[in-house]
Amino acid sequence: MFEGMVFHDFVFYTFAAILLFAGLRVITARNPVHAALFLVLAFFTAAGIWLLLEAEFLAIVLVLVYVGAVMVLFLFVVMMLDINLDRLREGFWDYLPMAGFIGVLMAAEMVMILGSKNFGVDRVGAPPPKPADYSNTAELGRVLYSDYLLTFELAAVVLLVAIVAAIALTLRDRKDSKFINPADQVKVKRSDRVRMVSMPSFKEPPADDAANNTKDQA
């Protein structure tokens, strides 16, 4: 069974099995913190597969951006929020048929696209060996800003629209939010913020005089 396999194949199938296990545990773990940690494992395993495909830049970006920034933020948010797990699981069985149908449909689409007709060994061969001074970062930048420049710009516009929409939804007029108009802040003058008050000076008497006054009163 394993006679025709090389070490590269063993590593790939090991990473693939770990990635599938971690992905399943992300959606089946009852604790949100455990689900986030399994997602970190899935990202690390996917980065290892990228390394096997000689895509070092994508692997490093996956680890630095998603594991180092996004997942750390997820963990902080999940651990700081007081999540009611019982209430979170309410209605799970009501949405299960629709979720199962969508999952099966997505799996069928992936099988149709990634089948042997389009991605077989005879159609997609092994990448040719690269020289020692080859940089896939430079090659990725060249392809991104030449062949896929329009796609890259469209993705940037979509992300910009999403950011503006998120800010607009957050800063809408609500009674429970403390909204401050930036234009009003800019128009504020120093006289509106600071008021000088003239108060008479008060000189505290020396300690000896205070003691004598206390004896006289006694």
Q: What does the pLDDT look like over 23-81, one tens digit per residue?
A: 999 888 888 788 888 988 999 999 999 888 888 888 988 888 888 888 888 877 777 77
Asked if residues 49 and 20 have their Cβ atoms less than 8 Å apart, the reply is no
CATH of domain 1-84: 1.20.120.1200
pTM of the model: 0.58
Q: What does the pLDDT look like over 73-126, one tens digit per residue?
A: 887 777 777 666 666 667 777 888 888 899 899 988 888 877 666 666 666 666
pLDDT value of position 48: 92
Structure tokens at 158: 């979509």
| Chain centroid to CA 207 | 65
pLDDT value of position 1: 45
Distance CA 21, CA 142 (A): 36
Neighbours of 122 (CB within 10 A): 6
- CA distances, 12 to each of 18, 50, 125, 210 (Å): 10, 10, 16, 89
Per-residue DSSP letter, 115? S
Worst-scoring range by mean pLDDT, 7-21, 63-77, 196-210?
196-210
Q: What does the pLDDT look like over 140-176, one tens digit per residue?
A: 888 888 899 999 999 999 999 999 988 887 766 666 6
Domain ranges of the chain: 1-84, 94-126, 129-174
